[in-house]
Chain A
Amino acid sequence: MGLVFKNETFRDDFTFSNSPAAIKRFPFPFHEDKYMYSVNIEPHVGGPKGSVYEFPIDIDEHYISEMRDRALVLEKDPKRCQALPHMMPAQWDMLELLMTSMASKYPEHFTLNQDGNRWHWINRPLGIDQHFVFGDPSTLPYGPMEYIGRQCQGDFSLQDQRDGQLWMDAGIITTQADWSLDFDVGMNFTEWHGPVPLAHQARVFERALKFLLNLQNGHPVRRLNWTMTINPRLDTSPENYDKWGVDRTTVMPENVGDKVHLRVELQGLWRLPRSNAILFSIRCYLIKMKELVTVPKWARRFHRVLGSLPPELVDYKGITRYHATTLDWLSKYDDGEPTTPGVWPDDFPGAPKIRTTETNRSETPMTVSKFSRQSVLNDRHAALGSDLSTAWNDMPIPQNYSTCPYEETTAVRTRAGLIDVSGLRMLNVKGPGALAFLNKLLTSDVSKAAVGDSHISNIVNEAGALIDDVIVYVDGPEEFRISHGGGSLEDAMLPVAEKFDVKIERDNDVHILSLQGPLALEVLAPHTPLDLAGLGYFRHAPTTLFGRQVRLARGGYSAERGYEVFCSAADAPYIWDTILAVGKSKGVVPVSWTCLDIVRVEGGLLFYPFDMPHGDTTPWEVRADWTIDLSKPDFIGKQAVLASKGKERSLITGLEVATDRAIEPGAKITVGGKEVGVVTSTVFSQHLMKSLAMAQIKPEFTALGTEVVVHDKGDHAAVVVKMPFYDPLRLRTHPKQ
């Protein structure tokens, strides 16, 4: 349906190009403005309509041309396709998987009729009509892997599982990025990944291997890899490196748009039924820079990603020679405007339904702001001494006021402080399928939450790693709001939302004013008809405050009793001013985000991603077991979460450090000279007159009273203490009335 096959070359005159439709569906791999290596495995179970993820095997407009190029490579170098003798059953498994997928998803191009073992395969684009006996290699013109490999885009390798390892014992590899099948065939997983640099990645491969050894039938996974190529050359093998290597030096400012390509590999992994082997597909997509920049979001983002890439990665990906020239060329397309999170172009037809309400810009004499979200209270923050130069979640925040943050902390702990936390992202999630959607997306059983609950949950990716902070406000059986932090919840939720009858809208209008402290109740209670004293811990309700429509939620981030006021942008200035006015006699003051950070660390509260230093920290490692509901039938990452339980590399732990200042986050922790952990969040608490540190420490060293050493411009003795540091019995947030 609608696929028009192109006639183009990937060598010599390089006539390859992408149609506008192909550009739009390109698997752009960067969901934020910098690149961080991660395992990023996710289930290969479909994706938005029209995207490259929709079907297990993707056939696109370049199909015929790519197969022609493959045939040319194999003619010149037959060693690009090899299979050790014992891999025949795996070859048949691969042929079955590819043929059945292609025939079922692209019936207008491929047909497969199976009569017992007698199969009839028709490939219309390549003009192939073949009868053969499944299982009998003599009835095909090539071995089964080569036969179907010559008709399917992407490289394929087959891995035999034995001796607790995976062995790449067969493959058809003509479009690889710079590794040699002939050299690598017969190697195991650890060996063929050998040359990848950056020592920390070795642990990544250990975990990936463990995961793949237990890959089960019917649960394929996928991930993306990326690199860059000069000219749309598919065959960038080391065998031919002496022919294409020199291309890297031919990049000039005037030819960047045509010559420099982003090359993305969509990798799929399937367990095969008869052979118990694993099929590993590596499907390559190319896009030239001049095509890439037709999507403004990608132009900006790729410029920023490339500009912030660490030197070892620039080197390993072979980009060094043309890095600067390409960056320079891309800078023309980066106007500094913000990019939306996620990988999809803003107008991708198949992207799930997320609509944003109008943004509100404040009427302040601020200079040009690069952020799409602004608080309407910016002028108040400026007046209080904030330069609004810090941003979080794409919104400038009042990091500091002219007041001393320790005095602000005293206010919060003894009276009440008012803080603008509108930087949190709010999403409205509604529909008959909303609950099921949330239960699939999040780790907790949302159905256990009642209407009026502020339900703390968690979200992990398919590898079981935390990817954001999240709270679900239950407003009705089909009405929820999600509040999340600076992670990738929205990215993760888009493909999931596709499968449910749910409508998701970003709320860019709502403002959240948080009043935290022992006097918060008496300040607000007289001004709302709601029985505020009766509003339970982490409960919320719609009501009015000073006559304006709001939702009040008990809770906060301060370890004090407090309330969050959700109001419209239009009402926010009035509500802010009025709270301060009615609270003035009780000593209520506005407080900054620095103060918020002080009180939250004193309260031992986590902040994504700072307290999750592994890059793939699991919920167990932050002691968030109570947010994981394993009795739920399924949720994203459940398998991995189950598997990682009991295998924590470290646990979030509180330390009191014998020093008079805050420790630098990232400081190393040792016991007996051996490294046991790393510091994640810190504060010098004047309230307690102690240096406090939250840290991720190896489980065996987390018993209360364990003595450790923290290394930060010197060695500091420290001891493991109970968290929260302040008010360990939580008497403030749960006062006895």
Chain B
Amino acid sequence: MLASDVKSRPVYPGLEPDLYAANNIVVCDRAGAAAVADMFAKADADFARRATVLLCTEEYPDAKAIELEIARLQPARTGAFPNVDATAAALGERLFRAQMGTRVYAAGAEPLIGSTVQRAMRFGIDQLSVRTEHRGSLKRRVQCVHCKGLTENVTVSPIKCSHCGLVLTVRDHYSRRHAAFIGVRVDAEVPGEIPEQVPFQ
């Protein structure tokens, strides 16, 4: 369970099926797919029939593995997308035509969840209504407060900003709007005084 003293660090309560939803849109990656399968098992077969899964396939070893996953998630319809951005874009397309009675779910690594919530917010979905579960990697997306650039796949702190090169301490302060944690220059007071890298717990 991801926890921190910092209250803005999001907590992901877990996937719960909304049995009233007419239309379920589920976004997940490889690790999150297990959570999705668990959720389907909790509900009736009808629930999965009303669900569309948008699968981010970045971490699958080959096409066969992806095929197997898609089969496992039936009777839900599953679409496969190569990375988080493409998956979020696919979500956007579906939400563009969606109506009230649609429920969005996200499971997997934090950047995927963040992009999902961010995209849902653009279509008027309340951020608190998206059901989320964290699975797998502790990697984060970090926004450098100085240049506003985003650095992906961050697993340690401090980290070098991939845009401006400043070394940043990654704080637990998170913005849903940016779908990222804030990074602040670690050696602003004494340039060069950089502490050891520590991986996220």
Contact = CB atoms under 8 A, between A and B. Distances in A.
A and B touch in the complex (CB under 8 A): yes
Interface of A: 79, 163, 180, 182-187, 190-195, 197, 199, 202, 205, 238-242, 244-246, 248-249, 321
A108 B118 CA distance: 49
B175 A242 contact: no
A194 B188 contact: no
Best-surrounded residue of A182, A193, A238, A242 (most CB of chain B within 10 A): A242
Given A238-B145, A245-B185, A194 B177 contact: no
B8 interface: yes
A391 B7 CA distance: 41
Nearest to A244: B188
A194 B7 contact: yes
**Chain B at the A interface: SS class:** loop
A186 B175 contact: yes
Contacts of A202: 7
B139 interface: no
Contacts of B188: 241-242, 244-246
Interface in B114-161: 126, 128, 143, 145-146, 148
Interface string B58-75: 000000000000000000
Interface of B: 5-9, 126, 128, 143, 145-146, 148, 166, 171-178, 182, 184-185, 188-191
A391 to B, nearest CB: 38
A663 to B, nearest CB: 31
A146 B176 CA distance: 24
A190 B128 CA distance: 14
B173 A321 contact: no
A183 B175 contact: yes
Given A241-B185, A245-B188, A183 B145 contact: yes
Given A194-B172, A242-B166, A183 B178 contact: yes
21 contacts: A163-B126, A163-B128, A180-B145, A183-B175, A186-B176, A187-B177, A191-B174, A193-B7, A195-B172, A199-B5, A205-B7, A238-B182, A239-B145, A239-B146, A241-B145, A242-B188, A244-B188, A245-B189, A246-B189, A246-B190, A249-B190
**Chain A at the B interface: SS class:** helix
A192 B7 CA distance: 8
Nearest to B5: A199
Given A183-B182, A190-B8, A245-B185, A195 B173 contact: yes
Contacts of A239: 145-146
B7 A248 contact: no
A202 B8 CA distance: 12
A241 B176 contact: no
Best-surrounded residue of A184, A187, A195, A244 (most CB of chain B within 10 A): A195
Contacts of B7: 190-191, 193-194, 202, 205
Best-surrounded residue of B9, B189, B190 (most CB of chain A within 10 A): B189
A242 B184 CA distance: 9
Best-surrounded residue of B143, B171, B178, B188 (most CB of chain A within 10 A): B188
Contacts of A183: 143, 145, 173, 175, 178, 182
Given A187-B175, A245-B189, 14 more contacts: A163-B128, A183-B173, A183-B182, A193-B7, A194-B8, A194-B173, A195-B6, A195-B173, A197-B5, A205-B7, A241-B185, A241-B188, A245-B185, A321-B189
A246 B187 CA distance: 9
A185 B178 CA distance: 10
B172 A248 contact: no
Contacts of A249: 189-190
B189 A195 contact: no
Contacts of A244: 188
A160 B148 CA distance: 25
Contacts of B172: 194-195
Contacts of B148: 79, 182
B146 A242 contact: yes
Given A186-B176, A238-B145, A242-B185, A191 B5 contact: no
Contacts of B174: 191
A242 B187 CA distance: 8
Contact of A248 (B5, B145, B184, B189): B189
B178 to A, nearest CB: 7
Contacts of B166: 242
Contacts of B146: 238-242
A193 B146 CA distance: 21
A240 B185 CA distance: 10
Contact of B177 (A79, A185, A246): A185
Nearest to A190: B7
Given A180-B182, A245-B188, A246-B191, A186 B8 contact: no
A239 B128 CA distance: 29
A241 B8 contact: no
A198 to B, nearest CB: 9
A239 B146 CA distance: 5
A195 B171 contact: yes
A186 B177 contact: yes
Nearest to A194: B8
Nearest to A243: B188
A194 B143 contact: no
Contacts of A184: 175
Contacts of A182: 148
